[in-house]
Chain A
Amino acid sequence: MAPEGVIIGGWSYVIAAYVLVGVVLAAYAAHLIARTRSLDARRRRSDDRAETSVGDS
């Protein structure tokens, strides 16, 4: 790499970086929301079943 020269182009790298950030953040967010939903659903089901037995804290 010439020290004086400007790096020309490189837009593919820029786009790759932004896409990476977007995809990872979106994937993790989707994962979290999916797990929240499934846990909520399971808790609602077990609450319905154990309405009378277990006292709430």
Chain B
Amino acid sequence: MSRPGLARQSLAILGKDLALEWRNRARVVAVVLFGVLVLLLFSLAFGDKGTQVLQVTAGGCLVIALFLSSTLSLQESFRTEDHDDALEGLLLLPTEPASIFYGKALANTFFLVALAPVLIPVTTLIYQVSLGPTQVLQIAGLWLAAAAGLAAPGTLYAGLTTRLKSQDVLMPLLLFPLEVPVLLATVKAFGLVFDGDPMGQLSSWTQLIVAFDVIYWCLCGVLFRFVVEEAA
């Protein structure tokens, strides 16, 4: 009997996590609502300065909404494995630990991408920016790249801090400094999409985010083995 490869194993874990999440849809809705709430709060904080201020800050506020929502979403990714030593059970299967990581990281990317169809339209409404079809596509692509950049270290740190008393404090404390390069690049890129890109800089910022994604996904995949061996 031949063992399935890393990709097949990862996809199986991804399927498992997506199925679990589908049975518990209320949480996804709560995370989306939280993202909307963050956007709303920022617009209230800056709204009295006029529509121009709102339009200028739209990109930054959208990225911050994604970041803040991501902590809620990412922390949950190992909580399901806490019950009945489920993580130990996963590790006892003839799977690579890396496949658990990549499966979960893909699932987390998916959940973060799932925020986009709600948060982006809400941003265009509240922050009064108008997007054409190409701009929507650009934002969607950038969102995917940013979500992937958040999901890889986020999954690693969620595994790292699982079962710790103060996971909710430690996760953002560890994750947010790490995400500063992704934050800066995404804010710049969103700004270029919203305000126009006369110098054609968008592609270089996109490449930067993708480069961060590649580094994080490789590094975290390698390190994950050590994390779960201790956590189990």
Physical contact A–B (CB less than 8 Å):
no
Residues of A within 8 A of B (CB): none
Chain B positions near chain A (C-beta within 8 angstroms): none
